[in-house]
Structure 1
Amino acid sequence: MSEVPLSGLGHFGSRVAGRGELVVQSRMGFSDPAQMLDGLRAVRDAPVESVGTITLDSFTRTGQLRRARDEVLRGTPLNGYPLIAHGAAVTRELIAEFDQSVFPIQLRHGSARPYALFKEMLAAGITATEGGPVSYCLPYSREPLSAAVAEWERSCELLAAFDGPASPVHLETFGGCMLGQLCPPDLLVALNILEALFFVQHGVRSISLSYAQQTNPLQDREGIEALRVLAGEWLGGVSWHVVVYTFMGVYPESREGALSLLAASARLAALTGSERLMVKTVAEAFRIPTVAENVQALRCAAAAARGTEPGEAHDDCGEILHAARTLVNTVLEQHSSIGAALVAAFRRGLLDVPYCLHPDNANQSRAIIDSAGRLQWASTGAMPIAAYAPAHEARISAADLLSMLGYNRARFDSLDPGHPDRTVGATTSSERPTPCP
């Protein structure tokens, strides 16, 4: 956490930093306000350090507001909470019983154009959210990157101008979760720092930095340590913390595999001194989880984290740190406006997300999982980090890609004696789940 006093830093950022132990958080979002209220109550009352979440539905996050309103009028269950269809008054009433200085609530959305969502969010009394001009454009939309950057500039300025009792608004960059998997840590770290600097340039003062668990725990630790080093260098004068995401790719199908992967992410967060963890549930491979399954995931993650003490951080995190710093410096050289620099960097291929099909992404870079389970560059395209890629590019077939996408599922399902993949992968005893309380 940066050396900025906690007072006056908003409910969400100050409460996460002030808990003293890992804060675990679900992604819950239900279209019915009564069900959403029940979910928030269940999380608040669980015997864990947590914060609340309201996750929006796909119609609202993609701007299909009329469709969202129509479905609400029909009583159709949606895959999240339709904030604008319900309106600020309904949402304000929904969250009225929660003391957000103790149990703050974050709005999660997934929108490349969030301005209208943020206006409604603030009107409803919620002052924490997430996303970013790159991280919520390239994976989730076909909006031109330049349009997303412009929208996020005015959206950040809206958040920065808020002067209510829970100010300043907290904003989490999703830059460490690009595509959920198969994005090497140096690029995840660089995108985190660049989006955070974009937020700061447009007035945001309370920030969190994300990192999605990948395929090798040691490499993930190095990635998070590099992220903390660069945040310390670049984010002076603002409050920040780190949030780890339980693996966001193809999830284990077996109960033991799912709980083992969740426990591994909790231990990763605790070992790296990260302040918050976004959890996943045993239902992740099949359907939207219930309130009870979300609460179970929170309890299991908290139990796994309690048995893990933070490890000693290293000032030099190796190639990940150096490559990420190179990417950040190269992008910042493109323009004094960080938004314009990001657009220019993607146009020139100086930033290039592997396997991302957005029209503004060069899609010339490629990543592979090596024999130790580490994510490595097979090709860096035009990015200025060729020195950190193998001397000879690896050829990646469709079968190779499918195998890599299923790597963690096969590895963690192998822990289940009755699962067909029992002999696949090589998990260790440290990856087995802590029994849930």
Structure 2
Amino acid sequence: MEVLNKKWSMEKLMSLRKEILATWPTGSDVEDIDAGIEYQKSLPKSKNFAAKLLHAKENGITLVQPRAGVALVNEHIGLLQFLQNEGQADLLPSTIDSYTRQNRYQEAEKGIQESISSGRSLLNGFPAVNHGLENCRRVVESVNVPVQVRHGTPDARLLAEITLAAGFTDYEGGGISYNIPYAKNVSLEKTIYYWQYVDRLIGYYHENGVVINREPFGPLTGTLVPPCISHTVAIVEAILAAEQGVHNLTLGYGQCGNLVQDVAAIQTLQELSEEYLLKNGYENRHVTTVFHQWMGGFPQDEAKAFGVISWGAATAALAKATKVIVKTPHEAMGIPTKEANAQGLRTTKQLVNMLKDQTLPLTNELAEEKEMIKKETRAILDTILKVGDGDWARGIIRAFEAGIIDVPFAPSRYNAGRILPARDNNGAIRMLDTGDLPFDKEIIDFHKKKIAERGEAEEREPSFQMVIDDIYAIGKGMLVGRPN
């Protein structure tokens, strides 16, 4: 099938909707789409994600949000209430379990029953589809702040139907960002099509007076993703969502570690996304930003882990990100306790409050970084549209085939995997190999120069060993992976 960036008709959505709701018994609870819309309208404005994000953006506030999710409803409610009250979270998630992410609801059901028997969560998240509409509404009603669905699902259609009808007001993911970094054998044609359904559903809610925020997953594969790559994916997913009627978008970026580059990335993400949405005719769209704290390996020492968390919190505040996704001091040890999760939140809250009135001055270094990110991102975006003959959906599929857009270290066989990122001598992300990215000589020479400067400082030839050293550096107490 050929997928195009064209707004779906309501007839198409409603026809396919019957098939989607029939994939698991709890789908029957949301057959009346207007009932879900009316329930959303009954919620107070204080529980609307988009409203809270826009207020924060207007007032220069960086909101804090954790990741969290367990198998059983009462325990999940208790976890979210703890993070709200003890962690002082401004926004809350329901992180979905791995079985649900792969639409393996039978196995999720088994995980629920085994969790009941053992008295502890044996799933790594909240199986919202299995719990169904009323239980999901219990989650939303149990807290005082907006709740988001966070997952990692290539086909998130049934999950969207149930959680939106249940009062969740933010939905994370996208046809690229929840495919290329997460799946090996799922085609982009399929996932873009699946997510057009989700975005058209959210567009329908908007047309009926309910604002649902959408958040593409920014970090992709982690901490060595060049800003131009994550920016390109975020902006294309924003355009695809806007075409289906989505009006509120939060675009994300994962911390790379160099303060100047990270601040430049958040600022250019806001600027470029607004530029391309308007250029493509999508007016009255509201864009906010999310900064993900360090997505790579963490130190096992909790004191050192708090240092990593604090650096992410300070960077988010100085960049004026609208919100920051918070890590915990137990990152190196697996799923954190609720107490550790709350500690990460309070640490971050302290930093963003202290830095609320401070900004990073626009130095020559910051201006140069912003300009280079914009050049790189525009080069990729404009080429995507060109190879798609003016259509973004067609363009992104062809661009991945040609390596015009390439996500480093992604498992997907639909990703070229030719680019090779590494840090420069100041810890900023550059590229040892730019693969088939559509860069001109000026951009390529810039990357070569920055990598060469590091090689000279370390008295070694730039090579793949630098990449390996950089991956393990934070766990050893450094940002740049220097030779011993």
TM range (shorter): 0.7 to 0.9
Shift in CA distance, 163/322, structure 1 to aligned 2, threshold 3 Å = closer
- 2:434 aligns with 380
Q: Does 1:348 align with 2:385?
A: no
Deviation at 1:231, TM superposition (A): 2.3
Q: Distance in 2 between matches of 1:250 and 1:386?
A: 33
Query: In the alignment, is the contact (CA less than 8 A) between 1:10 and 1:167 conserved in 2?
Result: no
Residues 279 and 166 (structure 1 numbering): CA distance in 2 closer, same or farther, change over 3 Å? farther
1:91 counterpart residue number:
136
Comparing 238-247 and 404-413, the one that deviates more: 404-413
Bigger Cα Rg: 2
Please, which of 189, 194, 210 is the counterpart of residue 167 of structure 1?
210
**Residue 410 of structure 1: aligned partner:** 476
Q: Distance in 2 between matches of 1:200 and 1:126?
A: 19
Separation in structure 2 between the aligned mates of residue 49 and residue 249 of structure 1, nearest angstrom: 23
Q: Counterparts of 1:239 and 1:376 in 2: how far apart (Å)? A: 31
- Alpha-carbon shift at residue 232 of structure 1 (Å): 3.0
1:104 deviates by: 0.5
Q: CA shift at 1:221, angstroms?
A: 1.4
Partner Cα distance (1:413, 1:31) in 2:
35
Counterpart CA distance in 1 for 2:239 and 2:206 is 21
| Cα contact 2:53–2:322 (8 A) shared by 1 | yes
Q: What's the offset of the Cα at 1:361?
A: 0.7
C-alpha displacement of 1:17: 2.4
Q: What one-letter code is carried by the residue in structure 1 that aligns with 2:301?
A: S
Q: 1:242 to 1:203 in 2, by over 3 A?
A: same
Pair 1:311-2:360 in alignment: yes
Whether the aligned pair in 2 keeps the contact of 1:11 and 1:166 (CA below 8 Å) is no
Aligned mates of 1:85, 1:49 — CA distance in 2: 26
Provide, for residues 32-81 of structure 1, a one-character-per-residue CA deviation record: whole Å limited to 9, x for no partner. Answer: 21111112112222474511111000010111111001221232621000
Q: Tell me the secondary structure at the aligned position of residue 68 of structure 2.
A: coil
Corresponding residue for 2:39?
none
5 Å-filtered alignment, 1:38-437, equals 38-46=78-86, 48=88, 50-75=90-115, 77-99=122-144, 103-142=145-184, 143-162=186-205, 167-174=210-217, 176-235=218-277, 236-308=283-355, 309-312=358-361, 317-335=370-388, 336-387=390-441, 388-389=443-444, 390-391=447-448, 396-397=463-464, 399-411=465-477
Residue in 2 aligned with 1:17?
A: 54
The aligned residue for residue 430 of structure 1 is: none
Asked if structure 2 preserves the Cα contact closer than 8 Å seen for 1:223 and 1:320, the reply is: yes
Q: Distance in 1 between matches of 2:251 and 2:172?
A: 10
Q: Look up the equivalent residue of 1:287 and give its one-letter code.
A: G
Cα pair 2:250 2:288 within 8 Å, conserved: yes
1:191 Cα deviation from its structure 2 partner: 1.7
The alpha carbon displacement at 1:8 in A equals 9.2
Is the 8 Å Cα contact of residues 65 and 324 (structure 2) preserved in structure 1?
yes
Residue identity in the other structure for 1:16: L
Match of 2:280 in 1: none
The answer as to whether partners of 1:32 and 1:77 remain within 8 angstroms in 2 is: no
The whole-number CA distance in structure 2 between the counterparts of 1:164 and 1:185 is 33
TM-aligned CA deviation for residue 127 of structure 1: 2.2
Q: In terms of mean alpha carbon deviation, does 382-391 or 295-304 score higher?
A: 382-391
Aligned to 2:14: none
* Secondary structure of 1:318 counterpart: helix
Matched residue of 1:210: which SS?
strand
* Percent identical residues: 25
The code of the aligned residue for 2:284 comes to G
Alpha-carbon spacing, 1:203–1:46, altered in 2? closer, same or farther (3 Å): same
1:119-178 per-residue CA deviation (whole Å, 9 max, x = no partner) reads 11122221211111111101111211111111111111112112598722111011x312
Q: Is the 8 A contact 2:101 2:153 kept in 1?
A: yes
Q: Which runs of 5+ in 2 are unaligned?
A: 1-43, 116-120, 278-282, 452-460
Classify the secondary structure of the residue corresponding to 1:277. strand
The C-alpha deviation readout for 1:335-385, integer Å capped at 9, x for no partner, is: 333222111110111101122231111111111112221211111111112
User: Which amino acid counterpart does residue 367 of structure 1 have in structure 2?
Assistant: P
Distance 1:386 1:361, change over 3 A: farther
Q: Which moved more, 1:403-412 or 1:264-273?
A: 403-412
Given residue 222 of structure 1, which amino acid in structure 2 is its aligned partner? A
Q: Once the two structures are superposed, what CA deviation does each residue of 1:198-250 show, in whole Å capped at 9, x if it has no partner? A: 11112111100101001311111121222122123123421111100001011
What do residues 313-353 of structure 1 show as CA deviations (whole Å, max 9, x unaligned)? Answer: 57772211111111111112233332221111101111011
Matched to 1:410, the amino acid is K
Residue 95 of structure 1 aligns to a residue in which SS?
Answer: helix
Please state whether the residue corresponding to 2:438 is helix, strand or coil: coil
Change over 3 Å in CA distance of 1:163–1:362 after alignment to 2: closer
- Paired AA for residue 64 in structure 1: R
Number of aligned positions between the proteins: 406
Q: Is the 8 A contact 2:93 2:149 kept in 1?
A: yes
Cα separation, 2, equivalents of 1:85 and 1:39? 19
Match of 1:303, as an amino acid? Q
What is the CA-CA distance between 1:10 and the residue it aligns to? Answer: 8.4
**Residues 259-285 of structure 1, C-alpha deviations (whole Å, 9 max, x = no match):** 111111111111111110000000001
- C-alpha RMSD of the superposition: 2.6
